Amino acid sequence: MPRPHGFAYTATANGTVHITHHQHSATTLNGPRAARFLEEVATGDPQLVMARWTGNYKHGNERTARNHPRNRR
């Protein structure tokens, strides 16, 4: 599975976190969720963490794609 890329985040002074994907707004986090995100992004792979928090991680078609005749070996 390819690694996620293109994510960036900006934390503001009032505690809000804005996450973008390829310069398009993906989500905004406030309060305790923003604090938890900042802790997690500091300790893990930032691209994976942002992909998971925005919901752009798995789309549910992985099993279908894996079973497609073109992808069978």
Return the domain boundaries, the chain.
7-67
Residue 57: which residues within 8 A CB-CB, separation 6 or more? 4, 48, 51
* φ, ψ at 29 (rounded to 5°): -115, 140
* φ, ψ at 24 (rounded to 5°): -115, 135
Mean pLDDT along residues 50-63: 72
So what's the pLDDT on residue 33?
96
So what's the pLDDT on residue 55?
81
3-state secondary structure at position 2: coil
What whole-number percentage of the chain has pLDDT above 90? 49
Q: What is the pTM of this model?
A: 0.72
User: 48 near 3, Cβ under 8 Å?
Assistant: yes
pLDDT at 17 over 90: yes
CA angle, residues 64, 68, 71, in degrees to nearest 5? 115
Q: What is the pLDDT of residues 36-56, one digit of tens each?
A: 999 999 998 899 899 889 886
